[in-house]
A = this chain, B = another copy of it.
Amino acid sequence: MKRSGDKRGRGRPKTFDRSRVLDVAMDSYWRDGVDGLSLNEICRRSGVSKPGLYREFGGEDGLMDAVLEQYAGAVLEPLTRLLESDRPFGQVLADLIASMTQAERSQPAGCLLAKMRGSPSRLGPATRARLDALRAGAVAAYAAWVGRGKARGEIAPDIPTDVAAAFLDTQFTTLLVQMAAGEDPALLRGQARLAFMGLTAASADGGSDRG
């Protein structure tokens, strides 16, 4: 039960801008990765003192956990919505690849989840737990998507749904990691076309690779 903004308490009014710190931290972790980015640097970038940040989030683990929560709401949830579309499987897939491999983006390239998964030694227990939960949710969403594709005859039924779901997770993650590493988007699009040929073999149609 947080008190609403109008009701001011007794002591000194709070100046700590939680949402701003969260924005800066998410962008920083997303862009630069969790390694080599210290709490001190986060404080520097967001103009907040370290004890202040510690009071608000309880430490590095709490901050990363909160960042992950924000990421889930602001990035993952809209993506999950896309998968629930009733458009043809191959079309949604092509759109996803196109959006992942476009050079100009309003958000940083890559995937925060992948960056965190790649540096498990720096993750606290809360962050790790939420990371696992988010990944499980993503794979479940992929599985549902594949299931609907199968029901429509867009995906060969002899491909196990769980394998296909894990495959989508793997391929998208790899694609985003390589985009974040600065690989050539056109080359990555070519690889993606090759990778997903097996899944969409029934109605395979590449389309143009212009970005």
Contacts and interface: CB of A to CB of B under 8 A. Distances in A.
Contact of A162 (B119, B181, B187, B198): B187
Contacts of A122: 35-36
Given A197-B201, A201-B197, A190 B174 contact: no
A187 B163 CA distance: 6
A137 interface: no
Interface in A170-210: 170-171, 174, 178, 181, 187, 190-191, 193-199, 201
B121 A190 contact: no
A166 B191 contact: yes
Contact of A194 (B118, B119, B164): B164
By secondary structure, the A interface counts as helix
A160 interface: yes
30 contacts: A33-B121, A35-B35, A35-B121, A35-B122, A36-B121, A117-B181, A119-B119, A159-B194, A163-B187, A163-B190, A163-B191, A163-B194, A164-B194, A166-B187, A166-B191, A167-B190, A167-B191, A167-B194, A167-B195, A170-B174, A170-B191, A194-B198, A194-B199, A195-B195, A195-B198, A196-B198, A197-B198, A197-B201, A198-B198, A201-B201
A190 B35 contact: no
A69 to B, nearest CB: 23
A24 to B, nearest CB: 20
Nearest to A181: B117
Given A117-B181, A194-B198, A195-B198, 15 more contacts: A33-B121, A35-B35, A35-B122, A119-B119, A159-B194, A160-B190, A166-B190, A167-B190, A170-B191, A171-B195, A194-B199, A195-B195, A197-B197, A197-B198, A198-B198
Nearest to A192: B167
